[in-house]
């Protein structure tokens, strides 16, 4: 007994001795966060048909699952996100009412998704029923769902801890008027995405988040002044990254815009149908040499395209 | 663990900066999900029973497309095919033979192309995944100008029974009545895509027939789908 206690104590001591020098020499400590994302997957379980006019034999959840698995084997801190419209587009949805979309996304271990307009296509009750098969979190901050069956299934934001980082993730959705049959959104109240976003950022900052991601189904941009990711990025503050959807926009690389404070906001979107998997690697560093109080180190954007 | 401990320690002494963490680098990459990628055995076995059940229904070949039919603006062969079959259905089955009749759908509602080759039930599901049903809406001819305005604003939607010839509305069959019937989907008739000319109609008749089912029966009837590239809308 004595001997074991002794070993334990020296173990602690040794541990402390190891921490101390590392603290002393830690001029730079790096943590890498890998953000994987999809949007508008639209019930595309199988790859597109081999005779598809534009995207023959592309996509498919089995390939996506394998790719995500291989990334998880290489990386410690992986976040898997989706920007909405997981429903509608193939007969899998018509026949199984969203159950298979939920099951496959859970199998891939999606962390957080937001709501797209088509996610209301079988009504609020339909979504909630399918969601029984989904293990991921659903975020939206600008739909008041308190009077609907969704209220206990959708949160304005979530905070996820990865590798010592606190990642705040909130969602914003498009105005559903004219996009979804009224009876399918009964009780839902739409609020301004900009006001909702600023509110969420403030809350997430209060909670000590190191990085703030907005999952948006507003759409990348419009020829009119209709609310979009581009407008949201420029009219808010504190959002680091917008993962967008709805407009099925294929971006070659994230677009970088300035927010109201002149800080960079990244926007990314990867088309639709699970044709592409988006990946953004963020390197966080506690660089004791460079970082002084109140100074901001600019984000360098080196986009490595594949 | 050691990392968060570090931040805590150092963070205690700071006031202006909540954290020492900074983004020092960001890179992006997108992977095109093509056939060179591996598949996942576990995912395949999760999907398999669903695929089998669905395949029995969806893989039935019901006709053949001699060309690619795609939804495009301003004029598309898929749009022409879809609206023509609405007109035919309204005439044959909804007693619209002697009435002024046009058809309007929305480009955004046609969700996929019918690709050249055999057409299966599943292909039609992809074009029209929504459970929208066919409706007839009777509107005052005074609303024609707002139909033209709408089409101008959106550049075009699939139409039949009339033309927009350099911006001018022309019925295929001249109309002396003060109203027209529009055969369309319940989604559009009820305010979808903000087609406000459907608001406060003179009359609305539900057919109870799904647009998709109508498409499936049309493919079965026509067997070989071919199209002419007709210009129905020009500005």
Pairwise CA distance, residues A179 & B192, whole Å: 6
Lowest mean pLDDT among A5-9, A65-69, A281-285: A5-9
Structural domains in chain A plus CATH codes: 28-285 (3.60.21.10)
Distance in Å, alpha carbon of A30 to nearest chain B alpha carbon? 9
In 3-state terms, what secondary structure has residue A131? helix
- Overall pTM surpassing 0.90 (yes/no): no
List of residues 6+ apart from A301 with CB closer than 8 A: A254, A256, A264, B26
Q: Measured between CB atoms, does A98 come within 8 Å of chain B?
A: no
Task: List Cβ neighbours of B202 (8 Å cut-off, separation of 6 or more).
Answer: B138, B139, B140, B179
* HEC secondary structure over A1-26: CHHHHHHHHHHHHHHHHHHHHHHHHC
Judged by phi (left if over 0) then psi (alpha if -120 to 50, else beta), residue B154 lies in alpha
Q: A36 - beta bridge partners?
A: A80, A279
Spatial CA neighbour of A138 closest among A271, A230, A149: A149
Q: Is B27 on the interface with A (CB under 8 A)?
A: yes
Reported residue count of chain A is 306
What's the pLDDT tens digit per position in A22-33?
444 445 678 999
Question: What are the DSSP calls for A291-305, one per residue?
Answer: --TT--PPPPB----
Residue B220: beta bridge partners?
A: none
Domain positions in chain B: 63-225
State pLDDT tens for residues A241-277: 999 999 999 999 999 999 999 999 999 999 999 999 9
The span from the CA of B158 to the CA of B76, in Å, is 7
Average pLDDT score, chain B: 88
Question: What's the CATH architecture for B63-225?
Answer: Alpha-Beta Complex (3.90)
The answer to whether B191 contacts chain A (CB < 8 Å) is: yes
CB contact under 8 A, B38 and A279: no
pLDDT reported for residue A23: 44
Say which residues have a Cβ less than 8 Å from residue A9's Cβ, sequence separation at least 6: none
Distance, CA of A33 to CA of A285 (rounded, Å): 11
> B30 and A276 in contact by Cβ < 8 A?
yes
Tens digits of residue pLDDT in A176-197: 998 888 889 999 999 999 999 9
**Which residues of B are less than 8 Å from A29 in CB distance?**
3, 6
């Amino acid at each position: 007994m004595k001997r074991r206690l002794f070993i334990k104590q020296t173990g602690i001591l040794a541990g402390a001795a190891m921490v101390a020098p590392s603290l002393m020499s830690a001029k730079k400590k790096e943590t890498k966060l890998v953000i994987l994302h999809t949007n508008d997957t639209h019930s595309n379980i199988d790859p597109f048909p081999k005779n598809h006019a534009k995207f023959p034999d592309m996509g498919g959840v089995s390939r996506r699952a394998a790719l995500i698995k291989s990334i998880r084997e290489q990386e410690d801190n992986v976040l898997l996100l989706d920007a909405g419209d997981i429903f509608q587009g193939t007969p899998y949805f018509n026949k199984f009412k969203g159950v298979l979309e939920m099951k496959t996304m859970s199998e891939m271990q999606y962390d957080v998704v937001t709501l797209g307009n088509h996610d209301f296509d079988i009504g609020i009750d339909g979504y909630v029923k399918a969601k029984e098969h989904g293990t991921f979190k659903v975020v939206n901050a600008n739909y008041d769902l308190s009077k609907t069956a969704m209220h206990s299934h959708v949160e304005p934001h979530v905070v996820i801890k990865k590798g010592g980082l606190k990642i705040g993730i909130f969602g914003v959705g498009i105005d559903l008027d004219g996009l979804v049959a009224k009876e399918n959104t009964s009780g839902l109240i739409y609020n301004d995405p900009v006001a909702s976003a600023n509110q969420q950022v403030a809350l997430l900052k209060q909670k000590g988040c190191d990085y703030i991601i907005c999952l948006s189904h507003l759409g990348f941009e419009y020829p009119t002044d209709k609310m979009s990711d581009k407008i949201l990025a420029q009219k808010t503050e504190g959002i680091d990254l917008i993962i967008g959807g709805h407009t099925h926009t294929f971006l070659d690389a994230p677009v970088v815009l300035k927010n109201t404070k002149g800080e960079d906001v990244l926007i990314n979107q990867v088309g639709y149908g699970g044709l592409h998997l988006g990946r953004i690697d963020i390197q966080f560093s506690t660089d004791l040499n460079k970082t002084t109080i109140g100074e901001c180190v600019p984000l360098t954007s080196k986009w490595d395209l594949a | 663990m050691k990392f968060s401990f570090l931040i805590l320690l150092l963070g205690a002494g700071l006031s202006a900066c909540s954290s020492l963490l900074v983004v020092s680098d960001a890179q992006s990459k997108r992977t095109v999900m093509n056939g060179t990628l591996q598949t996942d055995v576990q995912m395949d076995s999760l999907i398999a029973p669903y695929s089998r059940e669905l395949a029995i229904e969806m893989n039935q070949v019901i006709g053949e497309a001699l060309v690619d039919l795609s939804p495009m603006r301003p004029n598309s062969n898929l749009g022409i095919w879809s609206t023509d079959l609405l007109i035919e259905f309204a005439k044959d089955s909804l007693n619209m033979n002697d009435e002024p009749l046009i058809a309007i759908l929305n480009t955004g509602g046609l969700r996929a192309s019918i690709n050249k080759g055999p057409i299966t039930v599943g292909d039609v599901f992809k074009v029209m995944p929504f459970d929208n049903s066919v409706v007839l809406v009777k509107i005052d001819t005074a609303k024609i100008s707002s139909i033209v305005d709408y089409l101008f604003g959106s550049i075009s939607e699939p139409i039949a029974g009339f033309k927009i010839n350099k911006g001018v509305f022309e019925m295929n069959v001249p109309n002396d009545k003060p109203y027209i019937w529009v055969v369309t989907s319940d989604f559009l008739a009820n305010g979808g895509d903000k087609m406000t000319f459907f608001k406060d109609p003179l009359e609305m008749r539900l057919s109870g027939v799904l647009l998709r089912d109508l498409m499936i029966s049309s493919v079965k009837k026509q067997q070989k789908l071919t199209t002419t590239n007709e210009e129905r809308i020009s500005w």
